[in-house]
């Protein structure tokens, strides 16, 4: 059985909440050894972000909730009090043999502990040091803390999300999940992987990788932001309407809704045939996509009236046969019951101390040669403290017990 792509890579992970942990979870999935440093007693802030929690076998209150579980599989949890010199020294000792160190503290916070990039680089010049923040390491906002929803607002995402102006409920709207955190995590893992490759081919040089939520959300707006950069006009909110092919959006049927995206002129003609309106395909006003965009409001209204005549399945069956991209609007129960999702194995089972068959979401990357098949449960708080200190730093039982007595671990 071949090893995983990152087997042999060691990561010291000081990140908390979501963006940083998503990045390190990706790397753990790919085979890296990720040592997650948590506060004694409380641990990662995410552990206190509310229910649902796993059920403790003894009925005791615990800190293993869904927020933590979604971003920390495959890691080792070590509890350390970073406010104490002894805790700081343990991190430095671990970092001496690490490939990567990750953190998401406020800019400058770790310098007072001797755990900033320059301090760690001095003891390990080849270290890849990744900082994940709300606003980056430079700029007037650098000292600020940042959470996903704040950056959705400040980065422009909310301005183009929500119902169209003039419709009920109009106004800026937050995207449901913490999507900026997730994308920032992906950028973090990409940056780390690129820096690891650069180190390998360029004589062992490490570097500081700076990723932040604000940069990420702006970059993620892609063609929406590019519209503004091209013509200086702020794009309006379009609700569920598409921003390329037209017509595209949610259409109500007799028993529910579906999502339709007509991406080109051929798909448009075939959609008109499915709707029983071939006249729309030959109407000069709608022949080309640019024409349909120009007359989008009236065309969407016509399509809305047609879709109201039949149930969802009727339309989806016809559109699929015609080769037109469309789909149902599923809730999570429908998603994980979908035969295609089940075939793709997006729900995986792991053994957790509180749940022998805990469901998690699998890594979205599929490798032909080094598949990710062995998922490990997110750790309980401090689960691996003794193991890591003994195996990596050579601490004996007496020293570990002394550190516990001093509440350093």
Are 6 and 365 in contact, with CB atoms under 8 Å apart?
A: no
Looking up residue 270, the CATH number of its domain turns out to be: 3.30.1540.10
Closest residue by Cα to residue 214 from 129, 156, 140? 156
| Domain total of the chain | 2
Enclosing domain of residue 253: 248-328
Residue 92 shares a structural domain with residue 181: yes
Average pLDDT, the chain: 96
Domain termination site, one of 328, 361, 394 = 328
Closest residue by Cα to residue 184 from 219, 150, 223, 153? 219
Confidence at residue 81, expressed as pLDDT on a 0 to 100 scale: 98
265: exposed, middle or buried (C-beta count within 10 Å: 0-12, 13-18, 19+)?
middle
Asked if pLDDT for residue 1 goes beyond 90, the answer is: no
Are 147 and 138 in contact, with CB atoms under 8 Å apart?
A: no
Residue 53 shares a structural domain with residue 180: yes
Query: In degrees rounded to 5, what are phi and psi of residue 36?
Result: -90, 120
Q: pLDDT tens for residues 26-54? A: 999 999 999 999 999 999 999 999 999 99
Residue 138 shares a structural domain with residue 273: no
Residue 323 shares a structural domain with residue 357: no
Residue 191 shares a structural domain with residue 113: yes
Report if pTM > 0.85.
yes
Active site residue ranges: 181
Q: Take residue 120 and report the two structure tokens written for it.
A: 């760690």
Domain termination site, one of 300, 328, 356 = 328
Residues in the chain: 409
Closest residue by Cα to residue 188 from 32, 388, 37, 4? 32
Number of CB atoms found within 10 A of residue 87's CB: 22
Residue 310 shares a structural domain with residue 208: no
pLDDT tier, 2 (very low <50, low <70, confident <90, very high otherwise): low
Whether 70 is in a domain gets the answer yes
Residue 301 shares a structural domain with residue 353: no
3-class secondary-structure state, position 141: coil
Residue 306 shares a structural domain with residue 398: no
Whether 343 is in a domain gets the answer no
Asked if pLDDT for residue 352 goes beyond 90, the answer is: yes
Beta-bridge partner residues of 11 = 34, 100
Longest dimension (CA), the chain: 85
Residue 41 shares a structural domain with residue 136: yes
Q: pLDDT tens for residues 382-391? A: 999 999 999 9
Confidence at residue 61, expressed as pLDDT on a 0 to 100 scale: 86
Q: What is the mean pLDDT of residues 66-80?
A: 97
Looking up residue 107, the CATH number of its domain turns out to be: 3.40.50.10540
Q: pLDDT tens for residues 81-92? A: 999 999 999 999
Residue 150 shares a structural domain with residue 276: no
């Amino acid at each position: 059985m071949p090893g995983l792509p990152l087997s042999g890579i060691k990561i010291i992970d000081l990140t908390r909440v979501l963006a940083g942990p998503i990045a390190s979870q990706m790397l753990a999935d790919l085979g890296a050894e990720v040592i997650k440093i948590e506060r004694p007693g409380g641990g990662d802030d995410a552990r206190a972000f509310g229910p649902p929690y796993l059920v403790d076998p003894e009925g005791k209150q615990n800190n293993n909730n869904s927020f933590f579980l979604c971003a920390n599989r495959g890691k080792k949890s070590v509890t350390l009090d970073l406010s104490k010199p002894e805790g700081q020294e343990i991190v430095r000792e671990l970092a001496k043999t690490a490939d990567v160190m990750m953190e998401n503290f406020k800019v400058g916070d770790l310098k007072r502990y001797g755990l900033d990039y320059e301090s760690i680089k001095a003891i390990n010049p080849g270290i890849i040091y990744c900082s994940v923040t709300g606003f980056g390491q430079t700029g007037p906002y650098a000292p600020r803390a940042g959470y996903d929803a704040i950056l959705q607002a400040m980065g422009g995402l909310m301005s183009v999300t929500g119902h169209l102006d003039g419709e009920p409920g109009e106004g800026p709207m937050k995207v449901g999940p913490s999507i900026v955190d997730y994308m920032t995590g992906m950028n973090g893992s990409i940056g780390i992987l690129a820096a690891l490759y650069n180190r390998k081919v360029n004589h062992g040089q490490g570097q500081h990788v700076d990723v932040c939520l604000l940069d990420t959300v702006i970059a993620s707006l892609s063609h929406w932001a590019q519209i503004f950069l091209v013509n200086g006009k702020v794009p309006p909110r379009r609700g569920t309407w598409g921003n390329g092919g037209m017509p595209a959006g949610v259409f109500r049927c007799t028993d529910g809704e579906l999502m339709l995206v007509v991406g080109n002129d051929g798909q448009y003609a075939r959609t008109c045939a499915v709707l029983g309106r071939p006249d729309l395909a030959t109407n000069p006003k709608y022949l080309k996509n640019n024409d349909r965009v120009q007359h989008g409001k009236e065309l969407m209204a016509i399509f809305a009236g047609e879709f109201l005549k039949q149930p969802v399945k009727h339309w989806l069956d016809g559109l699929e046969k015609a080769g037109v991209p469309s789909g149902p609007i599923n809730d999570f129960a429908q998603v994980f019951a979908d035969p295609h999702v089940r075939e793709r194995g997006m729900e995986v089972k792991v053994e957790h101390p509180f749940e022998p068959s805990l469901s998690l979401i699998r890594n979205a990357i599929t490798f032909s040669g080094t598949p990710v098949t062995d998922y490990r449960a997110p750790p309980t708080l401090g689960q691996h403290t003794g193991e890591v200190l003994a195996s990596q730093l050579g601490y004996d039982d007496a020293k570990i017990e002394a550190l516990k007595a001093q509440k350093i671990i």
